[in-house]
Structure 1
């Protein structure tokens, strides 16, 4: 009896271990809580790390950082999107750390001025009464969040700000007032109607003073099919975005792209907008592994050209070099294999 009891316990243990392994979760990221002295509140952020971040078989790398507003709405799909677009050997962008910023008082944080807009139903009621705190929120990102991320994670000095609606308004306002905060900005269907189109005036003022936009900065703007789909649901937004586009494109000094998404409305445009924005910002990053068999030096040349264009230094990742070396070995391109082995040893000398 004792023997059968032991066997039964052993069988139950095996089943428990098997079920535990079967229930292992795939996690998208990790949650961090950061107390902001500037905002006087706890801020919750979600961080997604690249797949190679904890790979002990390669040298510890540094990664660009994407700061994503409205994190609670966008983080999960955006993290997967960056992983998909950065997978070698077809990568359209380098692997990135994604930092999703969860909202507390969204209108307060993302709008640049205090609202004076009266309710059409009740003239005594001011809409968006808690607005106008974007400069404080900007200070939180620059003085508290970015240093926290740099301390906790291995980051490269290249960053992107992504926003939608009021978040897009915030992104464009930050670009106009503090263009050195980020290397690239994404504004999906930005609320440029805000405060009698104040950012349209700021854009004109900026160009009147500076004549041209900052060099090696990128701005991507997506526009939803709001007016056409919803019978003038928000014609002010449509007109303001079109005015902004005209001013920027006529100046012609900014790495700028505008995309109108037919059939996408305000609440859905971020997904296709963010996909196209990533490909636009990192345009020129993709390489063709087959070309390197005959001309292996092309890889370094392409990365140098890309780095010069984007305004930050990027080198081939060790994981990508391993893929290239394996490809050359399997296809018996001996000279190319030797070239890339030497390049790997030069760029990553600590790994034998």
Structure 2
């Protein structure tokens, strides 16, 4: 029992560090749009932040990168600035960034769990299916009504957001073309997603897409990302371009910023190349 308690305290510490890492007031906030979606699915009003590329003019449509933890005091400013800089350097083609600020983060980003220690991290957990439904049925239509967008969608996030991203890849891979997950919390529910990964990948239907994932020097995450990579190397799901790039020199609170350029560039370039293929 002592080991399980230690793991719970470790998980809490990781989540607290992640929360602290999101607050970086020094990040310049780029020009952006703000609006709200009255969500019937979630029963609440959800804010949305949108960063448009400099090239957003005329009749051209653009791919979209979606991001949980997307408030102005979360990850939106530094990721928006990174995408604008990657575009300016010619590393990627222009994209739109859609940030989704949190209301109840640990509710929205976690699947159900049978592990009592997991349930202690927040009063309510296990709401990822509803959050995904909100994105699919309410957020996508709202973005498509306001902006000129293509059907190429990518999702990016870290920690619990990374967990949500891997779960979405497994359960509804058609929602996004690109998946970028930094230190996903794959320990959740006794690493259920990893335990079921082989079956998911062996039944992959050839849908084209791109996945980038990484982990820092984290004893509760790195073993599970290593295991996921091992399963991927065996299953070799056709059509899914995958990159695993662990960063042992980083920590949970530094991995997002350390790996964001590499992760976004890798996935967006892969998708752009795929879209040009005959």
Under TM normalisation by the shorter chain, which class is it? 0.7 to 0.9
For 1:7-26, what aligned pairs fall within 5 Å after superposition? none
Range that drifts further, 192-201 or 252-261: 252-261
Query: 1:10 is matched with which residue?
Result: none
The C-alpha deviation readout for 1:210-243, integer Å capped at 9, x for no partner, is: 1x464321110011123xxxxxxxx232211111
Contact map agreement 2:30 2:51 (CA 8 A) in 1:
no
Tell me, in whole angstroms, the C-alpha distance in 2 between the residues paired with 1:174 and 1:108: 15
CA offset at residue 26 of structure 1?
Answer: 7.7
Where 2:79 maps in the other structure, the secondary structure is helix
Contact map agreement 2:32 2:52 (CA 8 A) in 1:
yes
Query: 2:152 is matched with which residue?
Result: 158
Contact map agreement 1:64 1:97 (CA 8 A) in 2:
yes
Q: TM-score, normalised by structure 2?
A: 0.82
1:256 aligns with 2:242: yes
1:243 aligns with 2:227: yes
Query: 2:113 is matched with which residue?
Result: 114
1:141 aligns with 2:144: no
CA offset at residue 196 of structure 1?
Answer: 0.4
Give structure 2 stretches of 5+ with no counterpart: 1-27
For 1:27-106, what aligned pairs fall within 5 Å after superposition? 27-54=30-57, 59-72=58-71, 73-87=74-88, 90-106=89-105
Where 1:157 maps in the other structure, the secondary structure is strand
The C-alpha deviation readout for 1:32-54, integer Å capped at 9, x for no partner, is: 11110000001111110111224
Give structure 1 stretches of 5+ with no counterpart: 1-24, 120-124, 227-234, 286-302, 312-352
Where 2:124 maps in the other structure, the secondary structure is coil
Tell me, in whole angstroms, the C-alpha distance in 2 between the residues paired with 1:26 and 1:279: 21
CA offset at residue 306 of structure 1?
Answer: 4.5
CA offset at residue 282 of structure 1?
Answer: 2.9
Query: 1:186 is matched with which residue?
Result: 180
CA offset at residue 86 of structure 1?
Answer: 1.1
Where 1:130 maps in the other structure, the secondary structure is coil
CA offset at residue 179 of structure 1?
Answer: 0.5
Query: 1:282 is matched with which residue?
Result: 268
CA offset at residue 168 of structure 1?
Answer: 0.4
Query: 1:218 is matched with which residue?
Result: 210
Higher relative contact order (CA 8 A, sep 6+): 2
RMSD over aligned CA atoms reads 2.2
Contact map agreement 1:28 1:76 (CA 8 A) in 2:
no
Change (3 A) 1:159 1:114: same
Contact map agreement 1:225 1:265 (CA 8 A) in 2:
yes
Contact map agreement 2:209 2:241 (CA 8 A) in 1:
yes
Contact map agreement 1:115 1:132 (CA 8 A) in 2:
no
Query: 1:324 is matched with which residue?
Result: none
Query: 1:267 is matched with which residue?
Result: 253
Where 1:191 maps in the other structure, the secondary structure is coil
Tell me, in whole angstroms, the C-alpha distance in 2 between the residues paired with 1:134 and 1:38: 12
Where 1:250 maps in the other structure, the secondary structure is helix
Contact map agreement 1:168 1:190 (CA 8 A) in 2:
yes
Where 2:173 maps in the other structure, the secondary structure is coil
Q: TM-score, normalised by structure 1?
A: 0.66
Equivalenced residue count is 247
Change (3 A) 1:193 1:307: same
